[in-house]
Amino acid sequence: MAGPSEIRRFVARGRVQGVGFRNFIAREARRLGLAGWVRNRGLDEVEIVAAGAAESLDELARLARRGPPAAQVNDLFSEPADKANLALGNKTGAGMAVAASV
């Protein structure tokens, strides 16, 4: 049985742009039953906001630290987020969206 739902924000730093990182995160988040969004943010950063079971968010963090084969994640920052953060990149709140870069 899945645990209580929560929302987290992650920022991955390193070689995370141009290597399929956003699509990797979106695919894995959907597989884990998470909703939210992922986008490029500045140079060498990808931002992720995801909502779902704590165990699934923990697994997403583990996967984000690894990334797809061509990525090199040097740092992964994580913090609690809220519904306003979730709505920034995914207005429907359903599924995992690849949002526009900032």
Per-residue pLDDT tens, the chain, 102 aa: give them: 355 589 999 999 999 999 999 999 999 999 999 999 999 998 899 999 999 999 999 999 999 999 999 999 999 999 999 988 888 877 666 689 888 888
Question: Do residues 59 and 31 lie in contact, with contact meaning Cβ atoms separated by under 8 Å?
Answer: no
The catalytic position among 8, 9, 22, 39 is: 22
What's the pTM value of the predicted model, to 2 decimals?
0.91
The catalytic position among 8, 9, 39, 40 is: 40
Domains of the chain: 1-40+69-97 (3.30.70.100)
Annotation marks residue 22 as catalytic: yes
Each as own residue / partner, the long-range contacts of residues 54-62 (CB below 8 Å, 24 or more positions apart, any chain) are 54/3, 54/4, 54/6, 55/2, 55/3, 56/2, 56/32, 57/6, 57/8, 59/32, 60/10, 60/25, 60/28, 60/29, 60/32, 60/34, 61/8, 61/10
